[in-house]
Structure 1
Amino acid sequence: MDDVIQINLRGTEFLSSSPFVKDFLHTLVTKDSAIIRQNGQIYVDRNPFIFHHILDYYCGGEFHLPKNICPLQAQKEIEFWKIPPKDIPTCCYEVLYNENESQYTAIENLESDLKTQTKQSISPIVTGPQANNCVGRLRYMLLEAHLHPFSTWTGRIWICVLALITITSNITYLFNSDNHFRVPREGLQVLPGNYTFDMSLNDKELVFLRTTREPIKGALEIITNSVLLLDISLKFVITHQKLKFVLNVQNILEIATGIAAYLVFYYDVNLLSMMDGNNLNNFFIVVGVLQGLRVVRSLRLVESTPEMKILKLSLYKSWREFLLLLVVLTSFSLIFGSAIFWMELEEPDTFPNIFVSIWWGIITMTTVGYGDFYPKSSGGYLVAIIAAVFGLMLLAMPITILASNFNSFYNCYKYRKRHLLSK
């Protein structure tokens, strides 16, 4: 019995002959986390519920957890008894980490250049023989500022400057679309039969044809666009995952936005030499789409926040429900659209074809209700009532699921934050 050590956890006694358990308990005694009593017992003020599983691990077996244990309690005990996470089998992983937390961790791992990955990848630059390399330290500082903008002063300044530049770019774009903030275009050529332009173009298109942006706003747009392109180029230079950076959809859109801004400016300046009455309508549409791309940059301001990650994860987890909503909405819009078309067959002024009635079904079920088409017969009223009520019930289900997922992930995030701060 000399080789057997007696352990007391809040009145529950355990016996073990494992030398690893003895060494670990004596380490706890030296750290004042355990007490040696007069009878030789080692008293540890910990919950005894899972200590049998702790002994299984230290006695050379595997570590397993009961299903009916609280994940938070299990995590605390595992941390106290110094059990490495890598030794926890996959069958017990769901006991420690519920589905929401594991998926929140998964989406963090999907984000490019996580903080842990970044530190590991640049540690040779910062702590190795090149520790005094200014370029390495600068790269590390910029990576920290980019990945965690609210944790350093450099990041806060960086994100504030980008926010100011992005907002200025968007405001300039909005002003350029208003006739009151544009100036008459000089040198507008008079073409033979120029009335054809007035006939083929509407008032909004004529504004862009006859006027141009103010020089100050044009210069401001070029400057802001250049700064934002410089920002995306700097992020590409400092990142260690360049292929992943290039394939990122957000980055692709930002690069396309930067190129489009220069193209729009060039087209606007050289519009007179490009005028062609046959293709002018399509030209304005293309230019308008290119200009509108810049609003995508606004997403960059919030993508680093945990709330945005939670929203992305909630949408990702709810994709099946939204796909089901799309399928069911399409099916019932066909049903209600077909029904109201035949109900209104004797009304010559409503629903000229079944495609319009399907459009009405979608608008009615989504509670938009433009009012451009509406029933006039008793049968049409009945179909409209059923479609509207069914649409309310149909939309409520995926929205509720999305809100529930967001709430679960947000609670998980708050726990993780408290857990990290407690360390």
Structure 2
Amino acid sequence: MDTIKINLRGTVFTTSQRILQNYPDTKLASITHQCDNYITEKDEYFFDRNPSSFHNILDFYATGKIHISCTICAESFREELIFWGIPMKYISKCCWKAFYQLDEDMDVLENILMRLKCCHESPDGVDNSSSTRHRLRTRMWRLLTEVQSSTLAKVFHSFLALVMIVSVLVYALETLEEFRVDRHDDNKLDSNTSSVKLRRLWNTSPHHILIILDFVCNTILTLELALRMFTCPCLKSFWKSPLNIIDLVSCTGIWVCLSFGQAHTSLTYGPLWIISCVFGFLYSFRILRLLRLFRYNSGMQILYLSIKSSSRELCLLASAFACFVIIFAGFIYVAELEVDTFTDMFVSLWWSVITMTTVGYGDHFPTTGMGFVVGTACAIVGILLIALPVAVTSSNFHDFNMFNKYRIRHFLLSKQKTEEIRPCLKLSSSKVKPVDIDRHTAFM
């Protein structure tokens, strides 16, 4: 009789030695009475493994295909395959989704945990062996970067968000004529300058209240940036963040623009004005500071991660979109040869982009029958191309959102269990004698 018994934590399986030899390169096919797992008294092989998935392992030797039960964790089953030496190429096609979905889920979870922490670290967790300066620096860094670290951090970040909103509001109010006053100097542009907006910006200055608010807001944000630079553990990683670069550029642009405003009388409309326009562009970077409001918002983080995970599909969309833009631009240029609406290929490209995105400014449009046909086809193809990646992006967003809910639940449960255990630990530690502590420490 060629039957053998395999005991997995008390669950005994009986199978045929002949069936196991169908795949001689696997672990079960190579077991003999001389191996360490053989128990002579019971005439069986004992393995300290989970028996729940072993039915699927034995089915593989009988059928040549690996099937995964819906009640088995894919990661646990993968570890079982590695232990028994069974190649994953034998997994049946009907179980590919259940098995390889694990990789995608783990990628989603790793991305979430990299952006959003899953555990709560109390300030008491700071290493007491380090210097006082290092501890203060670490606490300051956590206060400036981790909004959930303490109540003070939440208050500080709320105040910082208010300052950024006020700064952007000041920037918007400075463009209104009602909030600008005439400059009391002779360095003004005359009416020959075509742009009314340009004359208003050069001949007038923001109201002094707006200037004071701008100065105060930028001072606060500059000090906050300097503190983050001073307390940052690694400056190289600090400057890899685009938001930190935006903060530096916007702070520099605002201070330079304020200096140019004070030196307006000594400037001439010429090269210096061009320089001031360049710094004025940097001045507008303060609007991008609003992106920092989304850094600590888990919902916006999930949206960012879902778009990032769909980058491959979005790149395919961009490539296909660019190809069809060029194709329809060439078609409309040829179809409208009899009229002067599309004077060159670049105008045709502009029309093709606007039509495929269904914006339709109306500055250029076909007027011939053939042009109408090309325009209709261009609009339909644009709708189809843009609609294709929506399903993929929304699916990724759903996956990230669900795993974020699991992360939040795990975080809350871990924090709750820690708060329940901590009083017990304090009570038990208070009852331990100093002598016992010394002995335990010496033993360790």
- Confirm or deny a common fold (TM above 0.5): yes
Task: Give me the whole-angstrom Cα distance separating, in 2, the residues matched to 1:326 and 1:6.
Answer: 54
1:78-117 alignment runs, 5 A limit: 97-106=102-111, 108-109=113-114
The answer on 1:294 being equivalent to 2:286 is yes
The answer on 1:227 being equivalent to 2:220 is yes
Q: Which of 147, 154, 174 does residue 149 from structure 1 map onto? A: 147
Number of aligned positions between the proteins = 350
Which residue of structure 1 lines up, in the alignment, with residue 328 of structure 2? Answer: 336
Which residue of structure 1 lines up, in the alignment, with residue 129 of structure 2? Answer: 128
Length-normalised TM-score, structure 1: 0.72
How big is each residue's C-alpha offset from its partner over 1:230-281, in whole Å with a ceiling of 9 and x where there is no partner?
A: 112222222322220122221111111111110111122223322234674x
The answer on 1:167 being equivalent to 2:170 is no
The answer on 1:204 being equivalent to 2:197 is yes
Which residue of structure 1 lines up, in the alignment, with residue 355 of structure 2? Answer: 364
- The Cα of 1:322 is off from its aligned counterpart by 1.7
- The Cα of 1:151 is off from its aligned counterpart by 4.7
- The Cα of 1:68 is off from its aligned counterpart by 4.4
Higher Rg: 2
Structure 1 residues 145 and 69 mapped into 2: Cα distance closer, same or farther (>3 Å)? Answer: farther
Task: Give me the whole-angstrom Cα distance separating, in 1, the residues matched to 2:73 and 2:291.
Answer: 34
Task: Give me the whole-angstrom Cα distance separating, in 2, the residues matched to 1:291 and 1:129.
Answer: 41
- The Cα of 1:109 is off from its aligned counterpart by 3.3
Task: Give me the whole-angstrom Cα distance separating, in 2, the residues matched to 1:109 and 1:99.
Answer: 15
The answer on 1:404 being equivalent to 2:405 is no
Task: Give me the whole-angstrom Cα distance separating, in 2, the residues matched to 1:356 and 1:129.
Answer: 65
Which residue of structure 1 lines up, in the alignment, with residue 180 of structure 2? Answer: 182
Task: Give me the whole-angstrom Cα distance separating, in 1, the residues matched to 2:67 and 2:411.
Answer: 25
- Between 282-291 and 354-363, report the one with greater CA deviation: 282-291
Q: Tell me the secondary structure at the aligned position of residue 239 of structure 2.
A: helix
Contact 2:8/2:51 (<8 A) preserved: no
Length-normalised TM-score, structure 2: 0.69
Which residue of structure 2 lines up, in the alignment, with residue 319 of structure 1? Answer: 311
- The Cα of 1:402 is off from its aligned counterpart by 1.6
Task: Give me the whole-angstrom Cα distance separating, in 1, the residues matched to 2:272 and 2:334.
Answer: 41
Which residue of structure 2 lines up, in the alignment, with residue 394 of structure 1? Answer: 385
| Cα RMSD for the two superposed structures | 3.7
Which consecutive unaligned segments of at least 5 residues does structure 2 have?
1-6, 14-49, 57-65, 89-98, 415-444
Task: Give me the whole-angstrom Cα distance separating, in 1, the residues matched to 2:261 and 2:72.
Answer: 61
Contact 1:343/1:380 (<8 A) preserved: yes
Task: Give me the whole-angstrom Cα distance separating, in 1, the residues matched to 2:317 and 2:231.
Answer: 42
Task: Give me the whole-angstrom Cα distance separating, in 2, the residues matched to 1:115 and 1:51.
Answer: 33
Structure 1 residues 314 and 148 mapped into 2: Cα distance closer, same or farther (>3 Å)? Answer: same
Contact 2:168/2:287 (<8 A) preserved: yes
How big is each residue's C-alpha offset from its partner over 1:159-213, in whole Å with a ceiling of 9 and x where there is no partner?
A: 11111100010000111111111111111336xxx64xx3344011000111001
- The Cα of 1:367 is off from its aligned counterpart by 0.9
Task: Give me the whole-angstrom Cα distance separating, in 2, the residues matched to 1:128 and 1:304.
Answer: 30
- The Cα of 1:118 is off from its aligned counterpart by 8.8
Task: Give me the whole-angstrom Cα distance separating, in 1, the residues matched to 2:67 and 2:373.
Answer: 57
The answer on 1:303 being equivalent to 2:295 is yes
How big is each residue's C-alpha offset from its partner over 1:118-173, in whole Å with a ceiling of 9 and x where there is no partner?
A: 999x96x633265xx3x455434334334431352012101111111000100001
Which residue of structure 2 lines up, in the alignment, with residue 260 of structure 1? Answer: 253
Contact 2:75/2:102 (<8 A) preserved: no
Task: Give me the whole-angstrom Cα distance separating, in 2, the residues matched to 1:283 and 1:415.
Answer: 52
Structure 1 residues 140 and 119 mapped into 2: Cα distance closer, same or farther (>3 Å)? Answer: farther
The answer on 1:269 being equivalent to 2:267 is no
- The Cα of 1:356 is off from its aligned counterpart by 0.5
- The Cα of 1:414 is off from its aligned counterpart by 1.2
